[in-house]
Amino acid sequence: MENSSKINLRFFVLASLILAAAFSRLVPHLFNFSSLNAICLFGAAKFSKKWQAFLIPITACWVSDLFIINVSYGHLYGSFTWFYNGFYWQYASYALITFAGLFIFKKTTAARVLSGVLISTVIFFLVTNFGCFPGNPAYPQNISGLMSCYAAGLPFVQGTFLGTLFYSGVLFGTFALLQQRFTVLKPAYIIQ
């Protein structure tokens, strides 16, 4: 198979897995049991072009958000909604997770995937809970209030960790099996 066709097929399979995982959020699940951290790690590990590692997972998150906001929860919004309040904190965490994944996944191993799951859980917790704090009347706007905000987020960490662990296993495992079956999906060496 020609090298560019091989690259296009690999890209299509990776992007399809990521998009399917992003839409798995429609399946009823525990609080924060989500695929989104996992798709950022997976994208960082598997896309050879760094811009794809950021763009494809974050776009998949956004497209699934559009569907969830405007179809699943459309009755709660007065009109078509492109972004929910505070979305930038979650998307910043996804960008940071992807950035961390670029360093974690110089090589893909089970230990590195587990490290990625732990690191992404911490990043998501720190960034998104910090995003809930500024101007929130539920918390005094000082260090004590910030710590209270983080404490309020602790019950959700387990769901984030378990969701990231589960979906990382599904994504990395599925793609490894596909690569064994279809060697055309193995990375091509490209001179850039």
Q: What is the pLDDT of residue 61?
A: 95
In this predicted structure, what is the pLDDT of residue 190?
A: 44
Please name which of 55, 53, 163, 46 lies closest in space to residue 105, comparing C-alpha atoms.
46
Q: Tell me the CA distances in angstroms from 85 to 19, 115, 117, 154, 181, one per residue in order.
A: 23, 30, 26, 21, 43
* Averaged pLDDT for residues 128-136: 93
Closest-CA residue to 44 (of 32, 58, 34): 58
Percent of the chain that is helix, strand, coil (3-state, to 5): 75, 0, 25
- The pLDDT, as a whole number, for residue 130 is 95
Mean pLDDT of 2-14: 79
**Cα(76)–Cα(85) distance, rounded to whole angstroms?**
13
pLDDT tens by residue, 61-102: 999 999 999 988 877 877 888 988 889 999 999 999 999 999
Q: How far is CA 175 from the centre of its chain?
A: 16
Whole-prediction pTM: 0.90
DSSP helix/strand/coil, 118 = helix
Architecture of the domain whose range is 3-185: Orthogonal Bundle (1.10)
Residue 143's contacts (CB-CB under 8 Å, 6 or more residues apart) are none
Q: What does the alpha-carbon distance between residue 65 and residue 85 come to, in Å, rounded to a whole number?
A: 12
Domain residues of the chain, as ranges? 3-185
